[in-house]
Amino acid sequence: MVGKYPADKLRMYPHLMVGDIVIWEQYLGTVDHGFGSFDYDVHVGEGIVLMEEWEPEIKAMALALSEKRIDVVGWVDDVPTIIEVKPSASLSAIGQVLCYRELYSTRFPGVIRPLLVIVTDFELPDIRKLCKTFGISFVVLVVAA
């Protein structure tokens, strides 16, 4: 599979917040990541239960807004990598990528099981060791102010 976006800096990134974008662009500019393309704002999970009386447009919007959303999926040939971009990544980032992998595999059953990466700007205690335990790559960047 190939992502929708090139492995370059973009004018805007779907779903990434301002703090995430600073880290992400530092990653794109300084790390030899090897990805050929990316997908952003990848929806996984089931979302909310919808009310029958809602208009179709409202149902579609509610579903899209309530599904879980992966920051980035990087592609090397047909191998996906789920990438969580987070300032000061903590235990929640580890939980996110582990859960996202399961939800991604459910949503896209024919795709190879994704690899996992957390990209952050600050290393909190224990996070690197826990990432290693769970097979998650952990990238800490010095982000220019």
pLDDT, one tens digit per residue, over 80-125 is 999 999 999 999 999 999 999 999 999 999 999 999 999 999 999 9
Angle at which helix 91-107 crosses helix 127-134, to 10 degrees, equals: 30
The side-by-side arrangement of strands in the sheet containing 37-44 is: 5-6, 37-44, 68-76, 79-85, 115-120, 137-140
The structural domain count of the chain equals 1
Please give the full DSSP string across 61-75, using - where no structure is assigned.
HHHHHHSEEEEEEEE
| Residue 71 domain flag | yes
Structural domain harbouring 129:
5-140
| Residue 123 domain flag | yes
Residue 1 pLDDT level (bands cut at 50, 70, 90): low
Report the predicted TM-score, pTM, of the whole model to 2 decimal places: 0.89
pLDDT above 90 as % of the chain: 74
**CATH number of the domain enclosing 86:** 3.40.1350
| Residue 145 domain flag | no
Residue 145 pLDDT level (bands cut at 50, 70, 90): low
